[in-house]
Amino acid sequence: DTEVTQTPKHLVMGMTNKKSLKCEQHMGHRAMYWYKQKAKKPPELMFVYSYEKLSINESVPSRFSPECPNSSLLNLHLHALQPEDSALYLCASSQRAAVSSYNEQFFGPGTRLTVL
C-alpha cells in the first residue's frame, strides 16, 4: 500500500467551529507532515512529526493543533480559524524525518478547507 489518505475531502467551517483533519498511511513511514497550499502557490510546511514526536513547527498559529496518535495517523485540529486560513491542507509521509538518501515524501489528496 503506497497511499496516503486524507479525510474529509472538503470542509466548510465557521470561525467559531472546532473541526479536525485526518491523515493515514500504512507504508511504515516514521515521518509525517502537514502542508498548507494556497491557490497557484507551492505547498508550505506547517509541521513535521518524527517517530510520533513533533520535530518541526514552522511558527504556525496556535489555532492549528497537530496530533500524532500513532505511527500511521496524523490529525490536525482546527479552532477559531480565520477566512485567510482557507486553503488546501496536504498531508505527506516519508521513511524518516532526517536528511538521508532517497527520502521522498508521498502526498495525500488533501482537504480543501473553506472558512466562512
Query: What's the angle, vertex CA 49, arms to CA 76 and CA 70, rounded to 5?
Result: 75
The three grid cell numbers given for residue 70, joined into one nine-digit string: 500513532
Of 16-24, 61-69, 75-83, 92-100, which segment contacts other proteins by CB under 8 A?
92-100
Closer residue to other proteins (CB): 13 or 45: 45
x/- letters, 40..59, toward other proteins (CB under 8 A): xxxxxx--x-x----xx---
Q: Looking at residue 30, what DSSP letter applies?
A: S
- Determine which helix (DSSP H) or strand (DSSP E) holds 91, and give its type and residue range: strand 87-94
Beta carbons within 10 angstroms of residue 54's beta carbon: 12
Which positions from 60 through 89 interact with other proteins, judged by CB under 8 A?
Answer: none
Q: State the residues that interact with other proteins by CB under 8 A.
A: 31, 40-45, 48, 50, 55-56, 90, 94, 96-110
